[in-house]
Amino acid sequence: MNNKAQLNMFEAITAIAIIIMAVFFVRSFYGAPSLEVAASSEQLETYGDDILRTLDQPNSLIPEKYHGSLLVKYIVNNNSKDFSDFVETLLPATALYSIYIYNVSGDEISLWYPTEELPKSGNIVRSSRAFVYKGFVFEVQLEVWYI
């Protein structure tokens, strides 16, 4: 009876060894898992363009004094919180961003979000949108990059 227990133990060890060798064999074909960036630079540029375009879409719920544009409303009312919340919901978690507001008519440039400039790394993509409000030309620039 003791021999039968030893034989069962040998079979179990052999089965485990076969499974481990099969895993290593399959892994050699597929390689080790790697951490990949969630989106390419082109995808980030598309995200940025889509965010600004969506905010600037005519919206009947926005008063006409803002040209029916949520983007204009956010900028004119200096509502960086709602603007940044909107941006963060549409960007991948591996991306950071800065928002710059240019008063093209007065040559003023300001970093609107974040309050302190974040360290930038890798490729930085920029999307922009311009609008006229009360005779002044504004440009909103959204810079996006990977963490």
Residue boundaries of the structural domains of the chain: 1-34, 41-146
CA 65 from centre of chain: 31
Predicted confidence at residue 116, as pLDDT, reads 61
| Residue 75, C-beta contacts closer than 8 angstroms, at least 6 positions apart | 83, 101, 131, 133, 138, 140
Top pLDDT among 3 and 74 is at: 74
At 144, phi and psi to the nearest 5?
A: -130, 140
Q: 41-146 sits in which CATH class?
A: alpha beta
Taking only the tens place, the pLDDT of each residue in 92-143 is: 888 888 888 888 877 666 767 665 666 777 788 999 999 998 888 889 999 9
**pLDDT tens digit sequence for 59-74:** 888 999 988 999 999 9
In angstroms, the CA 102 to CA 15 distance is 68
b (16+ CB within 10 A) / e for 87-101: beeebeeebbbbbbb
47: its two tokens: 């995200």
49 by Cβ neighbours in 10 Å (0-12 / 13-18 / 19+) ranks as: middle
* Rg of the chain (C-alpha set): 27
